[in-house]
Structure 1
Amino acid sequence: MRAGADLALVYRGPASTPGCPEAVADALRRGRRGLEVRFVGPREELPVEPSVLATARLYAQPGGGELRRAHRKVKRSADAVREFVRSGGGYLGFCLGGYLAGETPGFGLLPGDTDRFISSPGARPDHDGDSLVTVTWAGRRRQVFFQDGPWFDLDPARGPAEVLATYDNGLPAAVVAPFGRGAVGVVGPHPEATPDWYTDSGLPVPADVRVDAAADLTQDLVDRVLQAARP
């Protein structure tokens, strides 16, 4: 077993938006696995480099701004992240972190690529402002906070993937896929969002979003990634 099996590393830095890393970290800490969480990044005590990643079980890339600008900030870490996952680690990507799991540009961790959901046929919402999006996750319809997130364009010829959730137009909204001995879990919306995200944007708070409870969709994503990875 990999050292630090209960440690999750969350990126915080210029390729993320303030509040997004903290929300991911809180959701991971509140989960039933009791993960220890530490931040990594160019301005953090811990950098994103092989020796640091090797101490953890999970690496999480949270939401942020524009994809190409963010990729320029993290591309030096791409080889380290890929090797971490290939050798048995888990990658979690939320919104921008989901985009970065693709390859145009990104880490190239998925059997396929990503694209903007709001530009897809029949997308609702179809604008890039803060909004609610409806997904069907494990057979249950849920409303989730959304900020111009991706859908996942999977290519079965490039490898297997499990679709955990779909948008209302049928496109994949959350996916888990193997990468080497590790696993990648990505989601287009923000299941880690707490009630203040909604109220600050003037949006209604869905009944199943509670600040005092673990983010159950995030926990499902974490569980499936850890089950799929073979450290």
Structure 2
Amino acid sequence: MIDELVAAGHRLAAAGISPGTSGNLSMRDGDRILITGTGADLGRLRAADIAEVGADGTHRAGPRPSKEVAVHLAMYARNPGHTATVHVHSPHAVAVACLPPWSEASALPPLTPYFVMRVGQTPLIPYRAPGDPELGTLVAGHPLEFRAALLANHGQVTSGTSLDDALTAAVELEETCRIALLTDGRRPRTLEAAAIAELTGRNGTAWDTPAR
């Protein structure tokens, strides 16, 4: 697991979606959660930068865990079958997170089939300061199903059934945010309800927002 996290951190940094010392990753195995340490540079991530916490967030070993541990725990709580969580401050996601959401259920419209099938609806979680435990409470308590969210004025978070799954969702979400910004103000064509239903049914993602 540690080697996977280290490799994933390098991959995110190489993709340009984890600038500086921002962003954090975690993997879960039962009640054991491995998470990057606070202030870790994902591009230079080492095994020594990985902390271990319990399912309740109790620090067990390694460096001090990321201050966003509450968000990671919240994603696992709402998606029990998921074993990995990715939180990054990718630039296009941060930009969209500074704008009004497309709807109450999703900050982004269903622009591409890849967004719908790999990510699904992505709500905008209200702003709380980075590291505020209440941010985890807001993520855990959101009424709709989701595997990805934008954190207002902050960044994005995704979870998945594997680390690669969560990474794929994070990269796709950043790309969808980029497309949303490129098409902003031009009344882009979105996927129709039937196409959304087919994609979510086949790929296990969620979309409760009516096409409009």
TM-score, structure 1 as length reference: 0.31
TM-score, structure 2 as length reference: 0.33
Higher strand residue share: 1
